[in-house]
Amino acid sequence: MTQTTTGTTVGDQILHDSKLNSMVDEMVERIVEQSSQITDVREPNPELKESFQDLLDRCAAVKGRGLMYPSLGSGAGNGALVEMADGSVKWDMLTGIGVHFLGHGNPKVLKAQLIAGLNETAKHGNLQTNFGAYEFGERLIEHASKGSNLKHAFLTTSGAMANESAIKVCYQKHAPASRVLAFEHCFMGRSVTMCQLGDSAAGRQGVPLSTLVNYVPFYTEAAAEQMGGANKFIDYAVGRLQRYINRYPNQHACFIFELVQGEGGFNVAKREFLKELMECCKANEIAVWDDEIQTFGRTEEMFAYDMYGLGEYVDVLCVGKMTQACATMFTEEYNPQAGLLSGTFTGTTSDFTIGNALIDELASGGYYGKDGKFAKHHAEFCKMTRAMADKHPDWFPEVQGSHDIVCGVGGMMRMTPFGGDKAKIVRACRVAYDEGVICFYCGHGPFHLRMLPPLPVMKLEDWARVFARLEVALGKVASEV
Ligand SMILES: Cc1ncc(COP(=O)(O)O)c(C=O)c1O
């Protein structure tokens, strides 16, 4: 939190109170000291079995169905290791689908949380706020504007809500255009509109359809190969886009770009593919809306559009997950009229203090670029996966509709054992959980085992420890088959 003035308000005095600040430092130190007991994967504590099951039953009663994993944290962790309420410790290679990118028990996150507690306001909104919310927005804009024309940020509490704001901004700018273009296999969130854009039938089961969407295929190496090469695929996709535009002239408000597909399977497109589609949008006055809710921070640049060098095309952009507070960013041209965007909450104080700490860490940690730490982690993940496949070729048969058994970029990592069969991949995730590795699946067929690990707190050597556990898990699934 930044002070608004220098010691002239009571708020500033509290924030800069040396006693309070040293208490915060002491608390962080104490928590880190306790957390340092967590050093490796641990089995559940048998003494906690009953009470843990009781907690799970209560969760299921509240939710109306059981949790996918028996996953309830104890409130402690150390780096990439997280302790569960049953006393077990696991490698957290999923981080709540990418939320806890700075890992567990991170002193920077702990400090940001405690400092937030000095603020009497837990929640900030559009009518009642402290400056912390806008300081976070400024940070985002500062980094986003280096490679794009993005100029403003509207803050909100979920990725879906950031996307809802984005689509409204696009609709207003291009009114009365009412159609949306999207990629096949995209995912945008779970609001009524976003589940209609998302290319998943289960995600909109029973929801009345009110949003007009035209889908363009997303680039994958496998699809390009099938079509006779990258250029042929790109021509085909741009041709499809042009046909929609011809069929519905001036009726498309925006094209939603997920530059690296998340839920759709960690599919990484070629720059040329994205660029040609974006150019076609520009030529036809269709907004380029970039959903970086899953990609932000974890590719080879802070913003995926920078990795592709495509920032000049982006009109509207959304970030979320690891940023804690979510944001819709837009250029001056897309700044909507008053009244379009608001809401009770922009976020909690700690969303902003942790969001700021995260952005500062990302900007200064040597993480980005082809030789950055994230690229090195990705290379290690690929190397270990290939070594496992060489050792156990029967676990990694050829995958129909996929180019390789390992894919993704930076902190978006996927592998495809068991030919991408859904039941076996889901089972592999479940057994891996019991063996001490939290991961998840993605894709719509073939299915993949995916990881969104807390790379800033991982060492390259950790991968061997994670893979040792994973090998046991996949071996168990293979023998069940
Ligand atoms: C690309 C993308 N957009 C939007 C969302 C929705 O974010 P939230 O779950 O915070 O609403 C997600 C979540 O997985 C996502 O991956």
Q: What are 201-204's contacts with CB under 8 Å, separation 24+?
A: none
The CA 108 to ligand 1 mean position distance, Å, reads 25
* Residue 2: predicted pLDDT: 56
Beta bridge partners of 225: none
Kindly indicate whether the domain formed by 375-480 is annotated with CATH number 3.90.1150.10. Answer: yes
pTM equals 0.97
The CA 306 to ligand 1 mean position distance, Å, reads 20
- Please choose, from the candidates 297, 350, 317, 340, the residue with its C-alpha nearest in 3D space to the C-alpha of residue 159: 317
Beta bridge partners of 77: 82
Strands 89-92 and 81-84: antiparallel
Task: Count CB neighbours of 246 within 10 A.
Answer: 9
Q: Pick the atom of ligand 1 nearest to 261's CA.
A: 1
The CA 293 to ligand 1 mean position distance, Å, reads 6
Q: Pick the atom of ligand 1 nearest to 294's CA.
A: 16
* Residue 143: predicted pLDDT: 98
Strands 406-409 and 212-216: unpaired
Q: Pick the atom of ligand 1 nearest to 295's CA.
A: 1
Top mutation candidate among 193, 293, 318 for ligand 1, by most atoms within 8 Å of CB: 293
Sign of CA dihedral 248, 254, 256, 259: positive
CATH architecture type of domain 123-364: 3-Layer(aba) Sandwich (3.40)
Cα–Cα distance measured from residue 464 to residue 388, given in angstroms and rounded to the nearest whole number: 11
Cα–Cα distance measured from residue 145 to residue 166, given in angstroms and rounded to the nearest whole number: 17
Beta sheet of 412-415, edge-to-edge order: 406-409, 412-415, 448-451, 440-442
Task: Count CB neighbours of 22 within 10 A.
Answer: 10
* Residue 401: predicted pLDDT: 78
* Residue 4: predicted pLDDT: 55
* Residue 400: predicted pLDDT: 81
The CA 321 to ligand 1 mean position distance, Å, reads 7
CA nearest ligand 1 atom 5, residue:
189
Contact 153, 140 (CB under 8 A): yes
Helix 462-480 to helix 422-435 angle (10° resolution) is 130
The CA 291 to ligand 1 mean position distance, Å, reads 9
Radius of gyration of the chain (CA): 23
The CA 15 to ligand 1 mean position distance, Å, reads 34
Top mutation candidate among 187, 298, 303 for ligand 1, by most atoms within 8 Å of CB: 187
Pocket of ligand 1 (CB under 6 A): 97, 158-160, 163, 187-189, 258, 262-263, 291, 293-294, 320
Q: Pick the atom of ligand 1 nearest to 321's CA.
A: 10
| Average per-residue pLDDT for the chain | 96
* Residue 403: predicted pLDDT: 78
Strands 212-216 and 179-183: parallel
Top mutation candidate among 185, 188, 195, 258 for ligand 1, by most atoms within 8 Å of CB: 188
Q: Pick the atom of ligand 1 nearest to 186's CA.
A: 1
* pLDDT beneath 50: ranges in the chain: none
Cα–Cα distance measured from residue 453 to residue 325, given in angstroms and rounded to the nearest whole number: 19
* Residue 69: predicted pLDDT: 87
The CA 419 to ligand 1 mean position distance, Å, reads 27
Structural domain spans, the chain: 10-98+105-116, 123-364, 375-480
CA nearest ligand 1 atom 4, residue:
188
Beta bridge partners of 89: 42, 83
* Residue 1: predicted pLDDT: 62
Q: Pick the atom of ligand 1 nearest to 158's CA.
A: 10
Strands 437-438 and 89-92: parallel
The CA 190 to ligand 1 mean position distance, Å, reads 8
* Residue 394: predicted pLDDT: 97
- Please choose, from the candidates 218, 246, 254, the residue with its C-alpha nearest in 3D space to the C-alpha of residue 234: 218
14, containing H or E segment: helix 10-15
